[in-house]
Structure formats: C-alpha cells, structure tokens
C-alpha cells in the first residue's frame, strides 16, 4: 500500500512537471520564423556573467545573421541564479509582447537594478519607457505567483534537461552547456543544419 502511494505521488509529480513545461512553451514568445530549420532555446540568468557576455557580444551578431534571416527560431527561458535574477525574470515575463525588449534593457543595465533596494520602481520605469501598460505591469510584478512559477519551472528544467549552468542552450534538441562565442554558435548551427 505504501509503495502504491509513493508511485502515485511520483506519477502525479511527473505529469504536473510535464504540464508545467508545456504551459511555459505555449505562453512564451519566440523570435524568428516558426519555419526556421534550427530552434535554439537559451536557459539563462539575467545576472549570470557568462549570460551577460553572450547577450552583449555574441547575441547581436547571432540575431542579425541567424534569427533575422529565418535560419533560427530563438527562445529565451529563465533559469535564475539568484534572487535579483528571479525578480528581473518576473519583470520580463510581465512585459507581455515587449518581453525581448525588456530582456535587452535588463541585460544592458544589470548594474543599475540587480543590487537596488527599489527594483520594482526601476522595472516600472523600464516598462513605461517600452510602452508597456503601467497599471497592468505594476499589478503583475506585485503578484508573487509569478515568482513561484519561475522557481517551479527552474526545478522542472533541472530535472528534465539537467540544466545546471547558465547559459545552457537547447539546439534542435541537443543540450549545449556554457558560454558560446559567435564562431562557436555558427559551428553549432551549421552542425544542426546538416
């Protein structure tokens, strides 16, 4: 009887975990063509040094050469490495269709908000500058459910994909850990195309 209860709990946990990933996938915003031959999902943290370097030095070229040309469909998913990153992730998620613009703003100004005692005020200013509805954004970032959702998705990713470092990339289903230069991304994309 005890084994049956444990098995049932495990089955429920697996089903719920799978549904959470499905929900995250159905609600997320991606860049690039839906028909792109290569799909890349980045699991990153807004306060991770390697993620910051990727978004500052590699991402602009990567976007220009692969996303904007329809070769890659790109999705950024949060895997926060600290409390500030969790709150930054919530701000990005609350930005609606300005998600990637907010990510760009957060990555480029991490030194301004990550250690601030008034993160929410800074996030509200950023959202306003991007044209996000201030009232809806304010209500969204005050809802702790969003923080809980981010942390639950992180637990699921840790178990399902063995995401343990940031950034981690999923390139047409292949897991690639660690920072990547433009040349390394180019080689990985070429490999995925062949």
Percentage of residues of the chain with pLDDT beyond 70: 86
pLDDT (0 to 100) of residue 156: 83
Residue-by-residue DSSP string for 31-47:
BS-TT-SEEEEEEE-TT
Residue 187 pLDDT more than 70? Answer: yes
d(CA 98, CA 68): 17
Catalogue the E-assigned strands of 51-131: 72-78
Residue with tokens 């993160």: 119
- pTM above 0.85? no
Lowest mean pLDDT among 12-21, 74-83, 143-152: 12-21
CA distances (Å), origin 170, targets 20, 26, 120, 189: 18, 17, 31, 11
Q: DSSP letter at 28?
A: -
Q: What angle is formed at CA 98 by the lines to CA 92 and CA 103, rounded to 5 degrees?
A: 40
Q: Three-state DSSP class for 167?
A: coil
Q: DSSP letter at 76?
A: E
Mean pLDDT of the residues in the chain: 86
Domain 2-193 classification at class level: alpha beta
> For 59-98, how does the pLDDT look when each residue is reduced to its tens digit (9 = 90+)?
999 999 999 999 999 999 999 999 999 999 999 999 999 9
pLDDT (0 to 100) of residue 1: 46
Residue 18 pLDDT more than 70? Answer: no
Paired with 72 in beta bridges are 38
């Amino acid at each position: 009887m005890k084994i049956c209860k444990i098995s049932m709990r495990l089955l429920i946990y697996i089903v719920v975990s799978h549904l959470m990933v499905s929900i995250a996938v159905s609600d997320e915003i991606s860049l690039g063509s839906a028909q792109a031959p290569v799909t890349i999902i980045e699991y990153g943290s807004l306060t991770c040094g390697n993620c910051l370097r990727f978004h500052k030095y590699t991402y602009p070229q990567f976007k220009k050469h692969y996303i904007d040309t329809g070769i890659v469909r790109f999705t950024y998913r949060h895997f926060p490495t600290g409390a500030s990153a969790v709150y930054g992730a919530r701000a990005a998620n609350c930005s609606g269709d300005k998600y990637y613009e907010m990510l760009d703003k957060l990555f480029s100004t991490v030194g301004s908000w990550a250690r601030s005692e008034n993160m929410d005020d800074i996030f509200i200013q950023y959202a306003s500058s991007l044209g996000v509805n201030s009232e809806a954004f304010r209500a969204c970032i005050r809802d702790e459910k969003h923080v809980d959702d981010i942390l639950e998705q992180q637990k699921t990713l840790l178990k399902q994909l063995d995401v343990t470092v940031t950034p981690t990339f999923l390139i047409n289903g292949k897991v690639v850990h660690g920072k990547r230069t433009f040349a390394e991304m180019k080689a990985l994309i070429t490999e995925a195309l062949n």
